[in-house]
Amino acid sequence: MDEAKKKVGVIGALNVDIGALADGPLARGDSITGKVRITLGGVGWNIARNCALLGADTSFYSLLGRDEHAGTIRAESERYCVDISGCRWEDASNNRYVYICDENGDVSSAVNDMRLCRQIGRSFAASCLPALEQCDAVVMEANLPAETLSLLAEQLTVPLVADGVSVAKCGRLKSVLGRLHVLKANIQEARALTGRDSPEECIRALLDAGVKRAVVSIGPGGVICGEGDRIFPQPSVHTDVVDATGAGDSMTAALTAGLAAGMSFADCAALGVTAAGITVGHAGSVTSALAVLRL
């Protein structure tokens, strides 16, 4: 990026992720040895950290809990140089995501407690608008309540990026598609949003709905992108996959950082698949190795 660092704002969820990896086959009703780790995650927080690693002056906006993980959140914000001064601290527990993986690393079952995220309502979002309006690009993600997404889309005039998050939650974005500068979704989310089947059909439907730039990920094949009358593929970067959990969030971050820096859509897409390729080659949803792409 140029000498004046481009500003990115991210509003969304931060989770405490509690994960267990079993040493052997899982047995219902019985315990098994394995490894348990506690890390910070959440789509919004992952995107914010990745944007900062890519060189953007990044601010994060959310409700955070004054629980036993508060100190870790503050320390991590300093480590990644993500400004959390716009967050509001509540006398509550942070969002938590608990999951159990089998011996192959595949998630067997999971429970998410997103009560704090569901409280990110219109009043909090409205209080963030003056700061967000000063950004070169803003990311919002579908963990947010539909009413909050609507307010942000209605009020912000800066380029707005949205992440579909999941099939269950991406429908919250339907009413604001016409206000989005960039939408990133996987193929399942794109199908849920459009009712179409192929990636190209989904892209065309999203563009017809008013999305300026649409990016649909198709797994190992990379992404399909659309802007105006042009629909084009961006193949993935070959990488030995260690952990695929953060690929989509790094993709969204790269699209956003590139947009803020004034890159062309094609260059943003290329940056996105490169970022995703680096991320899946490392353990965890965010890796400091992404800094090699710093703009």
**DSSP per-residue codes, 242-270:** S--TTHHHHHHHHHHHHHHTT--HHHHHH
Mean pLDDT of 125-132: 98
pLDDT of 109 strictly over 60: yes
pLDDT of 12 strictly over 90: yes
What average pLDDT does the chain have? 94
Per-residue confidence at 136, pLDDT binned at 50, 70, 90?
very high
What pLDDT does 2 receive? 55
CA 55 to mean position of chain CA atoms: 17
- List, in sequence order, every beta strand (DSSP E) within 12-91: 15-22, 34-41, 57-61, 63-65, 82-83, 88-90
What pLDDT does 282 receive? 85
What pLDDT does 3 receive? 57
Mean pLDDT of 57-72: 97
What pLDDT does 286 receive? 93
Model confidence pLDDT, tens digit, residues 203-214: 999 999 999 999
What pLDDT does 145 receive? 97
End-to-end CA distance of the chain: 5
Alpha-helical (H) ranges within the chain are: 43-53, 70-80, 115-118, 122-132, 146-155, 187-194, 199-208, 247-260, 265-280
138 compared with 247, residue with greater pLDDT: 138
**Is the CA virtual torsion 249, 131, 149, 85 positive or negative?**
positive
Contact 284, 243 (CB under 8 A): yes
pTM of the entire predicted model: 0.94
Distance CA 40, CA 49 (A): 11
What pLDDT does 19 receive? 85
Model confidence pLDDT, tens digit, residues 249-270: 999 999 999 999 999 999 999 9
Q: Which of 102-106, 190-194, 252-256, 265-269 has the lowest mean pLDDT?
A: 102-106
Q: What is the pairing mode between strands 107-113 and 230-234?
A: unpaired
Mean pLDDT of 217-245: 90
Mean pLDDT of 56-75: 97
Over its C-alpha atoms, the chain yields an Rg (Å, rounded) of: 18
- How is the chain split into domains, by residue range? 7-293
Mean pLDDT of 180-196: 97
What pLDDT does 106 receive? 72
138 compared with 22, residue with greater pLDDT: 138
Per-residue confidence at 1, pLDDT binned at 50, 70, 90?
low
Instruction: Match 């909050």 to its residue by tokens.
Output: 148
291 compared with 245, residue with greater pLDDT: 291
CATH of domain 7-293: 3.40.1190.20
Mean pLDDT of 179-191: 97
Distance CA 167, CA 114 (A): 16
